[in-house]
Structure 1
């Protein structure tokens, strides 16, 4: 089995994972809240947040105040839903789709039977996973993405559930930002084995073993 590549991207730092978990579990977080919950210095939290914003995983909005005073900046997860969409993530998904469309025009056999919208979602998801240090293998009949060997296999066992939960939410956001019928339903795995199960909101039945 090939060795796992280096962990990179939004979940390369456990401190960033903690911050992502907090903004995914509740929107409109303040710097102070994130500092209190993680024990990190405010400057460190700001650095992590800026990297997550630049990557399209977090959005920042000014607080709406009804009293005088400078509004605080509130941070939320980019979920791809109305009011929580990241322009960066949209641009990344569009660029991934353009590259995917070009490939499918050159090599028509690379197109799946899922339709263009779903193929473009997979384009965005694959690029996200590759940027995060994974080597994804997509089965578009079973609607699975094999991420084995998982780069996070060496993480502390007690940290793995949070890592998987946070990354599942990130993948759900990537698919939503791309727009289409596919969703990420769950992550299954043990040790270095890891598989993402996708779903199709159209209710289409796909091939299974």
Structure 2
């Protein structure tokens, strides 16, 4: 019997496959790869599923045989044979990936390569991005900080994070992730961008940003984004 694929730390991927008859674990792996803007390594897939590397490799081999996944050699890093990078094929699903995901992955790579304070720079870039996203989304339908937080939750929903809000929207469970490989490789940068997006959007709506916090891979099935201090 397979382990329950939902009982894992961190968010699920950003999209679901279109009705293919696969086991729950194999479906979860395919979803993960479909959600990514770049090829994904075996260690990243192991981290998000919580499964043994051999189990993940077995299911990836099955997806390869089905033509739903392709692979290529990863760039060499240190001793030993290079590993593989996996990617969903165009046959696995129509592919309207969030265009922001590729931009965020590229931004993370540039910041890591060029900055001496990558987390701070990523957060500042996220703040600017959040202001733009808030402007494009428009003002909340109602006044007040709760309405502002719910509008920010809508922004994250549009980006593919499938947020689940608590009663007053002070905390969001981000149940999907369109940036798994980048977040696995550079969590301090990718998560700082998303934290900055939150702050920039809240500021644009006139809401407080005290207590805003992002806890990556905080619980089975989700990252946790706190939109303000609990009252």
Report the TM-score when normalising by structure 2. Answer: 0.45
Report the TM-score when normalising by structure 1. Answer: 0.49
